Structures are given as C-alpha cells and as structure tokens.
Amino acid sequence: MDMKIFEQLEQDLKTDGLQGSDSAIANIFLLKPKYNTELYLGQDFFLRYYHGSENRTGYAFPLPLKNSKTTHDNQTEYLKNAFIHILDKNSNDAKNGDNPIRFCLFTLNQKNAFDKFLEENFPSYKVNWDSLRDDSDYIYLQKNLAELPGPVLHKKKNRVSKFLRTYENKWEYKSFPEEDIADDILLVEEQWFNERSNDVEKSFDEKSLLLEKESIRLAVENHKLLSITGGVIYIEGKPCAMCLASPVSDDTLDVHFEKVLSQYAQNGGYPAINNFFAKTKDSYLYFNREEDVGVEGLRKAKLSYKPEILLDKYFGTLEKC
C-alpha cells in the first residue's frame, strides 16, 4: 500500500460537508484490500475505483484537494479534470475489453451535482442511477448518543443502566490513543473472533471476519496516519469491549468497529461502549455508524437509535445520450 498517498490525503483532502463513511480516509485505507481499490491523485482531485459487487463497483465521487490552483468554490473545474481523466483511462481500458464506466457510493447531493455537471459540460453523457437500501449510512446526533434523551431512547438508557448496575465498581473506560491500550483493543477483537470460530453453526462469513480482523490490526498500527480514535471498557481490569472510529470531516465521526464479548453483551455491553465513547467526542456534531448491509438484526438495532439522517448511496453506469 502506498503510504505516501494517505499522508498527502491527510494534509490535502478537502472534506468540508462530507458525511459518507466511504469518504473517511481511514475507510479508504482499511477497505482497500477488500475492494482492491484503485487510487489516483490528480493535481486538484482524488479518485477511487472500487472492485466489488454491482453496487460497489466503479468510481466514487471525485474529491477535491486543498492545495491546488483550482478554485474549489467552483466545483466544475476539478470535476471536469477528473471526468476527462476517467474518459481517457476508459479509452485505454476499452482496448482490453474492460467494462463500461461505472460509478458507486454517490450520495444524493453528489449524484445531483454530477448530473448537473454532465448536463452543463458533457451533455452527450448521462448516468443511469440505481440505489439499494442496504447501502444507506445511519447518521446520528452525537448529543443523542451521549445523553440518550427522551422516551424514544429510554430503552437504550435502561440498557446502559443495567450494565452499570451489573458491574458496579468493577468497570473502567479508557480512551485510545490517549492511553496505551492498543494491545487490549486487539485482545478484544481476538477473543470476539474466537467466540464466533467456536460457534458450531458458524452462521457467518469467515473470510469477511478475517478481513475485518486484519483491518482492525491495521487501524491500530496506523492510528496516527489515519487519525484513529476509540476506547475500551474493562471489567475487573480485563478488556471486554472496544470501538474504533475516525473523522469523515470536521463535524462527522465515522465508527468503524465496535466489539463486545458475549457475556458482557447480554448485560448491555453494546449500548454501554456506544454511550461511553460518544460522551468523549462532543467536538463532533454527527456520528456515522455506517450501513446495515441488509442484515435484519443490524437494521433493527441501528433504527432503534433513531438516526437523524439515512444517507442513501447511488450506483450507476455512464451512457451516451
């Protein structure tokens, strides 16, 4: 992996207004092996090309760079440079019989901006868009996750209270990277993974869990480069829950991983790590807790926290008008 690209992104990527989990620099880094993501840094834009399923194959929305000569108050210029690069690359790829130009992970605002850009600058092209509910990011107010206010979140508050009662005077929370707890984060992941490996039914995708395990290791090892933050809950000095997150933009934090060992999960471990961590991050307005990938139980859990925004994602294929 070319670390220089990510070092430059940390300095130069213009993230104003971004909320999608895919735009977090840490996610671009950590998901590169899963999607075999191709990365390209132009003079004034950054491009990603994902190799995944139909809804995860193609170019993500081109992102502007801060330190360029292009005036980013005018989005047209850098989009034009990015689109010309895409057309040129596709022209070369077409000689090898590659697929048409595809796009993915566009938010509604990005889709609309790109459609308007094409209409005004390349009217012979259009994108035929589609979307899947499974791809929508769940975005919450940090204040709501930290305070769990009102009757709507009363059950969550009760779950946290159960955790505090069950482990009264036995629990402790530590923040990462402020405290030296990297090994404890990895220990929770290792034990959580082993619990699933010992499951007789094994109703999970072991390959995906192995990729996730490796991503967690990379996140911890590269926490400075990726601005990774997180925390660990201890019971009687033993780590039992952890989470890891990173900024998407100045006002939005993306939660990448959250793991709780099973014996603590049944006593409110997940609401507890969620709540404890949120309380330490009041400099952010929003928490993005990513998509549910169509898993019914995960969707129910994410909806139960009453998201402020369901951030839909779009994918499509470029066509000649």
Q: Which of 35-44, 56-65, 83-92, 235-244 has the lowest mean pLDDT?
A: 83-92
The predicted pLDDT at position 68 comes to 67
Q: Is 79 helix (H, G, I), strand (E, B) or coil?
A: helix
- Residue closest to 53 by CA, chosen among 271, 246, 293: 293
Per-residue tokens: 104: 């993915």
Average pLDDT over residues 275-297: 97
Q: Is the peptide bond before 33 cis (omega within 30 degrees of 0)?
A: no
Residue type, 15: T
Q: What is the pLDDT of residues 186-217, one digit of tens each?
A: 999 999 999 988 775 555 678 889 999 999 99
Pick the CATH number of 137-290 from 3.40.920.10, 3.50.50.60, 3.40.630.30, 3.40.50.80: 3.40.630.30
Pick the CATH number of 3-136+314-320 from 3.10.20.30, 2.40.50.1020, 3.40.630.30, 3.50.50.60: 3.40.630.30
The predicted pLDDT at position 67 comes to 72
Asked if 264 contacts 159 with a C-beta cutoff of 8 angstroms, the reply is no
pLDDT level of residue 13 (50, 70, 90 thresholds): very high
DSSP codes of every residue in 101-150: PEEEEE-HHHHHHHHHHHHHH-TTEEEEEEE-GGGPEEEEEHHHHHH--T
> Is pLDDT at 96 greater than 70 in this prediction?
no
Furthest C-alpha separation in the chain = 67
Please give the backbone phi and psi of residue 123, each rounded to the nearest 5 degrees, phi first: -65, -10
Owner of token pair 């979140």: 153
Q: Is 19 helix (H, G, I), strand (E, B) or coil?
A: coil
The predicted pLDDT at position 70 comes to 58
The predicted pLDDT at position 205 comes to 76
Asked if 302 contacts 21 with a C-beta cutoff of 8 angstroms, the reply is no
Report the alpha-carbon distance of residue 1 to residue 37 in Å, rounded. 11
pTM of the model: 0.94
Average pLDDT over residues 218-235: 98
CA 42, distance to chain mean position in Å, is 23
Asked if 196 contacts 211 with a C-beta cutoff of 8 angstroms, the reply is no
pLDDT level of residue 69 (50, 70, 90 thresholds): low
CA 99, distance to chain mean position in Å, is 27
Side-chain-facing half-sphere of 303: CA atoms under 13 Å: 11
User: If you average pLDDT over every residue of the chain, what do you get?
Assistant: 93
Please give the backbone phi and psi of residue 230, each rounded to the nearest 5 degrees, phi first: 175, -160
> Is pLDDT at 71 greater than 80 in this prediction?
no
The predicted pLDDT at position 207 comes to 84
Per-domain residue ranges for the chain? Answer: 3-136+314-320, 137-290
pLDDT level of residue 279 (50, 70, 90 thresholds): very high
Strand-strand pairing, 252-260 and 286-288:
parallel
Q: What is the pLDDT of residues 97-156, one digit of tens each?
A: 567 999 999 999 999 999 999 999 999 999 999 999 999 999 999 999 999 999 999 999
